[in-house]
Structure 1
């Protein structure tokens, strides 16, 4: 895969396919201009955050991505929770079924590029009247069903630990692995996001060492969720830990579009070139 010569990993940037209230992604504006701009900066891929896959014109998007020379390493799904309240752990079984159906559509979309599907915010929060054990049981059942569908599409699932201010379910790598490992599903793994991990993990390097070959994808953002280099997170030990476990996936920038989306995209590249 193309990428920066100084980097061990190809670089992607997260764009939202649809307008969203989720602040840490930029919504697509002029799609062709956005994609050409990413490639001109040196990105190898674009991670797509998609609320509803039914809105994605796959043939034309594939043709445009091919012209721009960009890959799609992952499909984000959290906006189905942010915008519609779909959740795998909702007390209403109809909502849980709708969340599953939406994720199955995400898997079909991901299969177009061999991308992985992220299980982040769509797992929801523990709601009133639902015990933690019950919520995790529902989540486990959903992962087993989704994993079977993912296998048929030859794509993978990545569970993303999120910080405590966004969910009370699976905040750390250890908690994610405690759910995933007993299921025995080789194509279900973990996404590590440096912003969330910086809040929740005692050691980012320790979390990376613990997850090892279950690490399927990495989101990069600084301590303030701005582009790397614009906060106080020391990335050198993190990148060293990734090398030590032999990580061969992507680094995908999921950052606030601050001070502007264009400046954030350029800063990610400057940071990467400085590695």
Structure 2
């Protein structure tokens, strides 16, 4: 671990995760150790794992690899749709969807993790039309119950707000707050992603402030899905403003490139180009952007003054 990494972790105090698919097409046991070393050296303390099958994943082996590299894994809830969908009118399908979510909670615990992200409230993909109020209510009730189940096991459950091309159920921070309240769970948290907010929110910082009481994960992603320093979103400013507004939760970094992802996954995510090829440099670039935003924030400036005073 470099001095720069130590400085980043101790100086900023920020808890930052990186999606493993920014570097690897899958959590391959042979390739994962190298990627984890790269992320740890860049200053990350956590990785976001791709959706895993709880029934076929060797949780003990994966947990050991993460632990050996001083990293913690965040899981992603997937698989809603078809015969397992918490938003369905059919009680059996809702129960199957909730069971899938609980299985991911259990996997999270087995991996030594404390957070489960994802899209637990319904199918992911191009919507066929608006989502009914009844479907939203059904999804909220099921997701809220799973959030309580997760909390009892030491896991924070978040739900990601997506853009209109990936769901019609939740697209804005305001809708997310309403969904969280509708869930009836005080433990359910919101996951905002700047990539999606850039599509849906008129004022990104205002959206973050709206979700702040429930915000558990703030993910940084650029407009073109590439390096955080290149794109339409001024991400250092987003970091600065969120910190100034009082956000103290976990951060995430997400980027996707067709040169890194497996073909079917790239197709599902509509990643048709390769905005970058070097995942290691993307991770380092992301940390530079985050560090810049922190340095400009009130808390960052104060900490830097205290550090200078202590050194003099």
- Flag whether TM exceeds 0.5 (same fold): yes
* Counterpart check, 1:10 vs 2:8: no
Q: 1:202 to 1:119 in 2, by over 3 A?
A: same
Q: 1:33 to 1:86 in 2, by over 3 A?
A: farther
More off after superposition, 204-213 vs 26-35: 26-35
Q: What residue in structure 2 maps to residue 140 of structure 1?
A: 140
Q: What residue in structure 1 maps to residue 288 of structure 2?
A: 270
Query: Can you list the C-alpha shifts for 1:15-34, whole angstroms capped at 9, x where unaligned?
Result: 25xxxxxx998423412222
What's the Cα RMSD here? 2.9
Query: Can you list the C-alpha shifts for 1:219-241, whole angstroms capped at 9, x where unaligned?
Result: 11112222311212112432233
TM-score normalised by L of structure 2:
0.75
Aligned pairs for 1:61-80 (under 5 A) are: 61-72=62-73, 74-78=74-78, 80=79
TM-score normalised by L of structure 1:
0.84
Q: What residue in structure 1 maps to residue 59 of structure 2?
A: 58
- Could you tell me how far apart the structure 1 residues matched to 2:129 and 2:236 are? 43
Query: Can you list the C-alpha shifts for 1:151-192, whole angstroms capped at 9, x where unaligned?
Result: 321222112110001000110010011121244422101011
- Could you tell me how far apart the structure 2 residues matched to 1:236 and 1:37 are? 22
Q: 1:259 aligns with which of 276, 287, 290?
A: 276
Q: May I ask how many residue pairs the two structures share in their alignment?
A: 265
Asked if the contact 1:12–1:44 (Cα under 8 Å) also holds between the matched residues in 2, the reply is: yes
Q: 1:228 to 1:158 in 2, by over 3 A?
A: same
Q: 1:224 to 1:109 in 2, by over 3 A?
A: same
SS in 2 for 1:69: coil
Q: What residue in structure 2 maps to residue 169 of structure 1?
A: 169
Query: Can you list the C-alpha shifts for 1:125-157, whole angstroms capped at 9, x where unaligned?
Result: 697799611211220221232123113212221
SS in 1 for 2:148: helix
- Could you tell me how far apart the structure 1 residues matched to 2:148 and 2:247 are? 25
Q: Deviation of residue 194 (structure 1)?
A: 0.6
- Could you tell me how far apart the structure 2 residues matched to 1:182 and 1:90 are? 17
- Could you tell me how far apart the structure 2 residues matched to 1:141 and 1:273 are? 39
Asked if the contact 1:28–1:34 (Cα under 8 Å) also holds between the matched residues in 2, the reply is: no
Asked if the contact 2:236–2:290 (Cα under 8 Å) also holds between the matched residues in 1, the reply is: no
